[in-house]
């Protein structure tokens, strides 16, 4: 009886034949050595990584780790760090502050309730909101008071977008210890005033973009870098003073601040960045649309990069004196009089400091002499003059008698008048002598 082979037996026979064939090949012809993981070329192809697998879960304070495996060669792997999640605190005011006494607040982390923190609320009034605004493990905090003042205190950097769009903040105060303002941290806010403190070093890009409340920015000497478009579209900004240590002002830092009248640079060699931007294509577009400084007068020390920028861009430039002042031509604040000096006041356009100088007394400005009594041959005359400056001063003088004219051909009529006057004078003298007794 003829035997039939099943599909399973045929498969086993085939595998056995292949094994015997491989055994007959010369040694080294076929290698099953693993491919070098350091060479992910795959004959010209890069690794195609999978979605990754988390092997260490990040916590609030420690980073995690994710492992990726190549889809082409599973022996190729790589790992990447997962940033720490940071604390997500929910703050509660436990004792409110006043104008004279500090308050306290506590926080519980939403990611891990075992993580708690507390803060002292500075004594600046009654706080309505407190919180954390730092980056990473930086201890930067804030307190918003009922008068609309936002006080940022602690240490380190303010995180990006921290207060973007807050319209309930009317005044910003940066406390000492804060060193950096993150990108767009205060964009679209409506501050009326800003106090930058004394330790701030970096202002990030777009940090105060489109803030139309404040009119003046006074950066302290601690600031070194001002980011791109940091104060762009601040439509009411009229004056900016860059401190003595500002090294770089980024592109479009004062973009379209059309009310700007004064840009003051206390560092002669501050670099003002202005990149090339495509010109507006629309008809009637505003010129200099993407300039770092769109107008006003630039103040700085002569001979530096600031003056070079102003000259290149066609902006008026006023040189500062050795002490960083730019005094005006002076205004007479007390007018001089004819006899007393006046006062002229000179004011610095940068800081508002002033000094005074005396204005010499004008002296009298006399009119011409005016005869009030005409002289005669028997009587002297009189004349006066007045000060035309309006001081009400008058001077008088005597006018000599006219010379006698008795010689032949003299003034007969005048002689008759003189005789009549002399006659009545003698009669008057006689009556005075009569009533004397």
* Residue 365 is assigned to a structural domain of this protein: no
Within a 10 A sphere around the Cβ of 288, how many other Cβ atoms? Answer: 13
* Residue 412 is assigned to a structural domain of this protein: yes
Residue 236 and residue 105 share a domain: yes
Contact 132, 105 (CB under 8 A): no
Torsional class of 78: left (φ above 0), alpha (ψ -120 to 50), beta (otherwise): beta
Contact 306, 298 (CB under 8 A): yes
Show the tokens assigned to 416: 């008759």
Instruction: Indicate the Cα dihedral angle 116, 122, 128, 134, nearest 10°.
Output: -50
Residue 254 and residue 131 share a domain: yes
pLDDT tens, residue order, the chain (437 aa)? 444 555 656 666 666 666 665 555 554 433 333 445 555 455 556 888 999 999 999 988 889 999 999 988 888 899 999 998 877 889 999 999 999 999 999 999 888 888 898 999 999 999 999 999 988 666 899 999 999 999 999 999 999 999 999 999 999 999 999 999 999 999 999 989 999 999 999 999 999 999 988 999 999 999 999 999 999 999 999 999 999 999 999 999 999 899 999 999 999 999 999 987 765 555 555 554 578 998 899 999 999 999 999 999 999 999 999 988 989 889 999 999 999 999 999 999 888 899 999 999 999 999 999 888 888 888 888 888 999 888 889 999 998 888 876 555 556 666 677 777 766 766 765 565 555 44
Condensed to tens digits (0 to 9), the pLDDT of residues 185-217 reads 999 999 899 999 999 999 999 999 999 889 999
Q: What is the pTM of this model?
A: 0.68
Residue 398 and residue 272 share a domain: no
Contact 205, 226 (CB under 8 A): no
CA distances from 194 to 189, 239, 291, 372 (A): 11, 13, 24, 70
Distance CA 158, CA 194 (A): 15
Locus of tokens 């502050």: 97
* Residue 407 is assigned to a structural domain of this protein: yes
Residue 387 and residue 249 share a domain: no
Q: Residue 401, SS3?
A: coil
Closest by alpha carbon to 87, among 139, 41, 151? 139
Helix runs in 250-289, H state only: none
Residue 409 and residue 295 share a domain: no
Residue 294 and residue 146 share a domain: yes
Q: How many residues does the chain have?
A: 437
Contact 156, 180 (CB under 8 A): yes
* Residue 28 is assigned to a structural domain of this protein: no
The CATH number of whichever domain residue 256 belongs to comes to: 3.80.10.10
* Residue 47 is assigned to a structural domain of this protein: no
Residue 310 and residue 184 share a domain: yes
Within a 10 A sphere around the Cβ of 99, how many other Cβ atoms? Answer: 10
Strands 149-154 and 140-145: antiparallel
* Residue 181 is assigned to a structural domain of this protein: yes
DSSP 8-class letter at 366: B
Long-range contacts of 203-209 (CB under 8 A, 24+ apart): 203/227, 203/230, 204/160, 204/180, 204/230, 205/229, 205/230, 205/250, 206/230, 206/232, 207/181, 207/182, 207/183, 207/231, 208/234, 209/184, 209/233
* Domain with 402 in it: 370-431
Closest by alpha carbon to 194, among 230, 225, 247, 159? 230
Within a 10 A sphere around the Cβ of 241, how many other Cβ atoms? Answer: 19
Residue 427 and residue 293 share a domain: no
Q: What is the domain count for the chain?
A: 2
Return the H-helix or E-strand segment holding 422. Answer: helix 412-434
Distance CA 182, CA 303 (A): 33
Residue 105 and residue 238 share a domain: yes
Distance CA 217, CA 239 (A): 6
Contact 238, 260 (CB under 8 A): yes
* Residue 29 is assigned to a structural domain of this protein: no
Contact 273, 296 (CB under 8 A): no
* Residue 408 is assigned to a structural domain of this protein: yes
Locus of tokens 């599973």: 74
Condensed to tens digits (0 to 9), the pLDDT of residues 46-91 reads 888 999 999 999 988 889 999 999 988 888 899 999 998 877 889 9
């Amino acid at each position: 009886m003829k035997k039939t082979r099943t599909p399973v037996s045929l498969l086993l026979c085939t595998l056995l034949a292949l094994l015997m064939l491989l055994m007959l090949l010369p040694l080294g012809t076929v290698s099953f050595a693993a491919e070098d993981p350091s060479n992910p070329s795959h004959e010209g192809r890069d690794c195609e990584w999978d979605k990754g697998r988390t092997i260490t879960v990040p916590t609030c304070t420690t980073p995690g780790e994710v492992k990726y495996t190549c889809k082409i060669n599973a022996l190729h792997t790589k790992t990447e760090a997962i940033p720490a999640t940071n604390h997500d605190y929910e703050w509660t005011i436990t004792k409110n502050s006043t104008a004279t006494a500090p308050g306290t607040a506590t926080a519980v982390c939403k990611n891990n309730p075992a993580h708690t923190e507390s803060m002292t609320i500075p004594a600046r009034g009654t706080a309505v909101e407190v919180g954390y605004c730092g980056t990473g493990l930086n201890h930067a905090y804030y307190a918003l008071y009922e008068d609309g003042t936002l006080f940022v205190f602690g240490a380190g950097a303010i995180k990006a977008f921290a207060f973007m769009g807050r319209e309930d903040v009317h005044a910003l105060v940066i406390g000492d210890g804060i060193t950096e303002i993150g990108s767009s941290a205060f964009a679209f806010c409506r501050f009326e005033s800003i106090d930058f403190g004394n330790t701030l070093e970096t202002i990030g890009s777009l940090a105060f973009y489109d803030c139309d409340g404040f009119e003046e920015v006074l950066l302290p000497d601690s600031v070194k870098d001002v980011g791109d478009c940091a104060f762009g579209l601040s439509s009411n900004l009229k004056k900016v003073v860059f401190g003595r240590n500002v090294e770089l002002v980024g592109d479009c830092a004062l973009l379209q601040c059309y009310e700007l009248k004064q840009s003051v640079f206390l560092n002669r060699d501050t670099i003002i960045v202005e990149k090339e931007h495509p010109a507006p294509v629309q008809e009637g577009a505003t010129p200099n649309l993407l300039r770092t400084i769109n107008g006003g007068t630039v103040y700085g020390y002569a001979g530096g990069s600031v003056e070079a920028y102003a000259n290149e861009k066609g902006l008026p430039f006023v040189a500062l004196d050795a002490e960083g002042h730019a005094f005006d031509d002076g205004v007479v604040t007390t007018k001089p009089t004819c006899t007393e000096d006046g006062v002229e006041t000179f004011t610095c356009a940068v800081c508002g400091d002033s000094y005074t100088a005396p204005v010499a007394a004008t002296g009298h400005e006399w009119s011409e002499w005016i005869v009030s009594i005409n002289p005669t041959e028997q009587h002297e005359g009189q004349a006066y003059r007045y000060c035309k400056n309006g001081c009400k001063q008058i001077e008088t003088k005597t006018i000599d008698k006219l010379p006698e004219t008795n010689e032949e051909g003299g003034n007969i009529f005048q002689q008759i008048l003189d005789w009549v006057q002399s006659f009545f004078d003698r009669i008057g003298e006689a009556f005075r002598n009569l009533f004397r007794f």
